[in-house]
Chain A
Amino acid sequence: DGGITQSPKYLFRKEGQNVTLSCEQNLNHDAMYWYRQDPGQGLRLIYYSQIVNDFQKGDIAEGYSVSREKKESFPLTVTSAQKNPTAFYLCASSIDSLGISNEQFFGPGTRLTVL
C-alpha cells in the first residue's frame, strides 16, 4: 500500500522548544516538499528536496530546518526561531521536480499548536 505518511497528526509544543515533524514516503519519489498552511490561506513552500542529501529553501524557510539523508524520509524541524509556528504542515512528494508533471502526492498533515 503505497503512500506518504506524516506523524504525528496533532502536536503541541511550548514556546522555545524545537519540534520535528516526520514525513515518510514509499512511492520511490525523488522529490519531497514541505508546505505550511494557515487558516483560510493557501499553501506556502517551506523547503524542498530534489534528491537525497540535497535541499533548497522555499518561500518561508526562516525558522525551519530539514534533512534528506534517505530517499523516503524528509523530516522538518520547527525551531524556536520560528516566530509564529502554529499552523497545519503538509508534506508532499513527486516523481521528480524536473519532470513535466506537477503531480504531487500529499500526506494527511500535522497540525502544530504552540502553547
Chain B
Amino acid sequence: LAKTTQPISMDSYEGQEVNITCSHNNIATNDYITWYQQFPSQGPRFIIQGYKTKVTNEVASLFIPADRKSSTLSLPRVSLSDTAVYYCLVRPGGSYIPTFGRGTSLIVHP
C-alpha cells in the first residue's frame, strides 16, 4: 500500500503560523484527506478533513492543490498546547483502509 510522507519533526514559537505538508501520491479518486492530533499516551483526535481546495474550521485550515497529491495543514498562531504529533490520513487507491503516515512531531517553544 502506498504510504503518506510527512516531515518527522518541526519546531515553532508561540504566536507563529505552522504549516505541515503531507505527500500522498496514490490517493483514491474520491478519498478525503484527514488530519489528526495526538498527545502522549492518548488516542489521536480528529482535526480537519477536506477533499480539494481549502477547508477551514475553528482550529485549522487545510489546503489541497488541484492534483490532490499533497495537502498542507495550517495552524494559525500556535500555543504551547499545540505541541503534539500530527498525522495525515488517506486511503491509498484501491484500499478501503486509511493509512496513517509516520506523523510530524511539532514542538512549540515559548
Contact = CB atoms under 8 A, between A and B. Distances in A.
Do A and B come together as binding partners? yes
Interface of A: 35, 41-43, 45, 48, 50, 58, 88, 90, 92, 97-98, 100-109, 111
Interface residues of B, number: 25
B97 A43 contact: no
Given A50-B96, A101-B34, A102-B31, 7 more contacts: A45-B97, A90-B43, A97-B96, A100-B31, A102-B34, A102-B89, A103-B49
Contacts of B90: 102
7 contacts: A42-B101, A42-B103, A43-B87, A45-B99, A101-B32, A102-B89, A103-B46
A37 to B, nearest CB: 9
Contact of A107 (B33, B43, B46): B43
Interface of B: 30-34, 36, 41-46, 49, 87, 89-91, 96-103
A105 B46 CA distance: 8
Given A100-B31, A102-B32, A111 B41 contact: yes
A105 B99 CA distance: 15
B43 A106 contact: yes
Q: Which of B36, B98, B99, B100 has the most CB of A within 10 A?
A: B98
A95 B44 CA distance: 17
Contacts of B45: 106
Contacts of A102: 31-34, 49, 89-91, 98
Contacts of A35: 100
Given A42-B87, A42-B102, A109 B32 contact: no
B43 A109 contact: yes
B43 A58 contact: no
